[in-house]
Chains A and B, each alone.
Chain A
């Protein structure tokens, strides 16, 4: 009754698996922005990933044995930051990861140089 024809033409196939993003955050469709997490906050895991965790949480714990910024985790896992934030908050509250403020810019270049960069970029 339904040949393979309509199957093929039923639009682009979404990649990956049947999960939707709103499932990951446990139903928080509007995750409250936690002040302590922003894009450059470094996350480092405090525990080994165990099997009881959801795959995303386990992956975060696994790849964060080395400090990674939130933005990097987001890019690696291909999860939007807004999805990642509640997950990280959950991990933080369980003590499985630790959030560190970004590395302070100890050797910050002087303002003149930055301005020069800015002007140079604008000229491009």
Chain B
């Protein structure tokens, strides 16, 4: 290359060099002709001329080839430079492709951009020849399609997860509902009731698993609560979903409530943490559950006296807990990680702060901080009763002797016509009592019947007013018998759905 560069300006010199050899030969030939004897001059001159011509020919040929070589070199250099330029461009484009274009395309894909838009974004920056650009585009398209296929697969898997979990949740909810009914029905039979509680517990565990699958599939856990739930009940709800709830000690609980949409996530996250705590601590130790007010919300602490976390385990849990991205299938490999993965998802979705630290007992102290926007004032200080939608007006009750006289004989419900008692029953007809009677519940019905007996037949009146009336009256325990006797001359009062009917029927037995 260097030679070719120097050859272009040195071309006259090379031409001179080319002339130099024949000239030198010619001069030598002339000198030889002059120096030899005259007799030998003619052959020497011939030989000298021939040699000079030969040298001239050779030199001319050499010079021609030299020029050809120079031209070729020049062309070659130009070509090489062009190729180098293209190579550099391709290098740069490939680098850009790897460093910027593909990540950008994947990011766009993750956000659901259509293929065309992604392709537009990933157009080559330089002017490349069509073949290379086409290959480039086809690579991008191939990658995009692969990603799309993978995302679609993942989406289908998630949907399948969620779908299965939803069905399981529906079954579990139905079962819980049924078990609740059965618990009510068989509340007096300790054996059946104990079995029902056992079933209820197993059902709750199944429900938690279904909720976990739903959460890992990117959905919400369990049912939605419309109203806020006292934190006390939330914590008990979390306790009720783990296997060894007997080992959990529920200590002081801040008197607040959790807003409805956050109830189920809190319960579920706490249940997973409690499950970890009970699972990784010796069976004879207790797990302490407290909830305290802190500046940034409510901190729920779960402290166990287990084996604690090794450094490696702690790194792993921190890694799992800090992972906010999509479902990592590695997390599903081992069952112990399932719980933490669920907690991490819930925490990311609802801004809980979760940390696992060594406990003073040697075990683990898990703290879940519920942010203040998920906390509200509790309508039931100290917690709500497990399943009482209403409580009796307790303070209205009075001692049996202090029952006020009731204007039952003038109450409007007796004025209405009622069916006649069984006149042909053969039972003794009682005289209507005057004045206040000690028993509100049976007496009103009895008086009603007495009045009806006096009035004769008329259309049947629904018993609702009398039931309402009884609702207002305090029930006097222990005096049911007199009420009953006062009512035996007629049919039994209809008391559907009233607690008192259960009581009186219970007492009859």
| A residues whose Cβ falls under 8 Å from a Cβ of B | 1-2, 6-7, 9-24, 26-27, 29-31, 33, 39-40, 42, 51, 53-56, 58-59, 62-63, 65-69, 71-72, 74-83, 85, 102-103, 105, 107-109, 113, 116-117, 120-121, 123-124
Contact = CB atoms under 8 A, between A and B. Distances in A.
Interface in B155-180: 158-159, 162, 166, 169-171, 173-174, 176-177, 180
A49 to B, nearest CB: 9
Interface of B: 158-159, 162, 166, 169-171, 173-174, 176-177, 180, 183-184, 186-191, 193-194, 197-198, 200-201, 204, 214, 217-220, 223-225, 229-230, 232-234, 236-240, 245-246, 263, 267, 380-389, 391-392, 394-395, 397-399, 422, 425-428, 474-475, 477-479, 481-482, 484-485, 488, 491-492, 499-500, 502-503, 506-507
Contact of A18 (B162, B229, B502): B229
23 contacts: A15-B387, A18-B233, A19-B236, A20-B201, A21-B197, A26-B246, A27-B245, A29-B201, A33-B190, A39-B188, A40-B478, A55-B383, A55-B385, A65-B395, A66-B394, A66-B399, A67-B477, A68-B477, A76-B499, A80-B186, A103-B477, A103-B478, A103-B479
Contact of B507 (A40, A56, A80, A120): A40
A104 B489 CA distance: 24
A2 B234 CA distance: 24
Given A15-B387, A71-B502, A82 B193 contact: yes
B200 A22 contact: yes
Contacts of B398: 66
A70 to B, nearest CB: 9
Given A17-B229, A74-B187, A39 B506 contact: yes
Contact of B388 (A66, A72, A78, A82): A78
A42 B194 contact: no
> Which of B194, B238, B426 has the largest count of A CB atoms less than 10 A from its CB?
B194
Q: Main SS of chain A's interface residues?
A: loop
Contacts of B217: 1
B187 A66 contact: no
B391 A75 contact: no
